[in-house]
Amino acid sequence: MAKKSSKKEIVDIDLDEIPMVEVKKEEPKVEQKPKPQPTKHETSHSLVSCLRNEKVIVRHIPKETGMVTDPRHILYGGLAENARRTFVVPVLRNGAYVNILTDNEKEFLENIMGLEYNALSIYKTTNNYWDDSNVGCVNSVTLTKDDLHLDLSNPEDYIRYKILLANKNYIAPSMKELEDHPKATYQFVIVGQDTEVNRAKLKMSLSMQAVKEFGKIEDNFDKLRYLLQVLEGRPVSPNTKIDFIQTKIYDFIQNGRDSKRVLSILQDPLIDAKVLIGKAVEYGIISKRGDYYYLKADGSAICEPGQDPTLNVAAEYLNSPKHQDTLFAIQGKLNS
């Protein structure tokens, strides 16, 4: 029986026949840090400009008081010559600022003004842009008796404009709003440049029309006198010289604010009857009791039954075809 060899058998191995296996190297773990907040304005969408090629005027609204009625007086209109009114972003009852900008406006303005991200947010607890103690920020607007001109293509002027619009109790947003929905608290009004030009044209047009109508009666003493009495709200003596009355009326026409009044009085279809009634009162043919008119002869009211004989009603009464006999009777007495 053969003996087992105690020596290990050596086997030749061909290394080329062993398949090579790639061992993946384990990547070192990297600790994930939170993404830092942007320090400058960054956005994933296109910014849309809120600025516009428009200029506006912020104008004081003069108000007559019992103490001062002369427009030339330094205190006329309720504001002294050097007085100042400063407006800031209003604060709500909870202490937060009114948000005067939309998100798009805020983003665009931050970008174009080179401000930090969220700099115009009303919610910042520190270094809030809208805090009136924050020096160097456009966070307040000071107004005086003089006009303030704002260019809405300028970012800072646009912010001033938005601040004023937010002060709704004191700033009328337009002339139309002021005229249609006047508030006793309004102190200033924002007037668009186009509106200003159109109003100037309208004033010029009204003045020209008033001059034209004035030319038709410039030698009619009775009508001129009646017109001046209505404009001034007080009697004018029949002994007043006609050239003095003409000059006074022309001054009213030159004042753009009164051209419309002059025109409305002169274009009143009842003006002839009203002038006649005024003369008849002076000559004792018609009596006036308060604001009512009566025929002196029989004390009858110059109106239809159920009406009050005011000046307008009395003038309509005399103009009516069925009351021409009364009209002619009054005219006859004045001419006799």
How many Å apart are CA 275 and CA 273, to the nearest integer?
A: 5
How much is the average pLDDT of 189-202? 70
E strand map for 85-235: 85-88, 140-143, 148-151, 171-172, 188-192
Q: Residue 303's pLDDT is what?
A: 94
Q: Residue 10's pLDDT is what?
A: 47
Q: Residue 131's pLDDT is what?
A: 92
Is the confidence at residue 11, as pLDDT, over 70?
A: no
DSSP 322: G
- What six digits make up the tokens of 264? 């409305």
Is the confidence at residue 29, as pLDDT, over 80?
A: no
- What six digits make up the tokens of 84? 């100042």
How much is the average pLDDT of 4-8? 47
What is the overall mean pLDDT for the chain? 83
How many Å apart are CA 282 and CA 284, to the nearest integer?
A: 6
Is the confidence at residue 80, as pLDDT, over 80?
A: no
Q: Residue 179's pLDDT is what?
A: 83
Domain boundaries, the chain: 55-167, 280-336
E strand map for the chain: 55-60, 85-88, 140-143, 148-151, 171-172, 188-192, 286-289, 292-295
Which of 265, 127, 168, 273 lies closest to 118, judged by CA? 127
How much is the average pLDDT of 181-206? 77
Which residues have C-beta within 8 Å of that of residue 295, sequence separation ≥ 6? 285, 286, 287, 302, 326
How much is the average pLDDT of 139-151? 94
How many Å apart are CA 135 and CA 125, to the nearest integer?
A: 16
Is the confidence at residue 24, as pLDDT, over 70?
A: no
How much is the average pLDDT of 218-237? 92
- What six digits make up the tokens of 309? 């004989």
Least confident of 64-68, 86-90, 291-295, 316-320: 64-68
Least confident of 8-12, 57-61, 81-85, 183-187: 8-12
Level-2 CATH architecture, domain 280-336 = 2-Layer Sandwich (3.30)
Q: Residue 204's pLDDT is what?
A: 63
Query: pLDDT tens-digit profile of 232-289?
Result: 889 999 999 999 999 999 888 877 567 888 888 988 999 999 999 999 999 999 999 9
How much is the average pLDDT of 102-114? 95
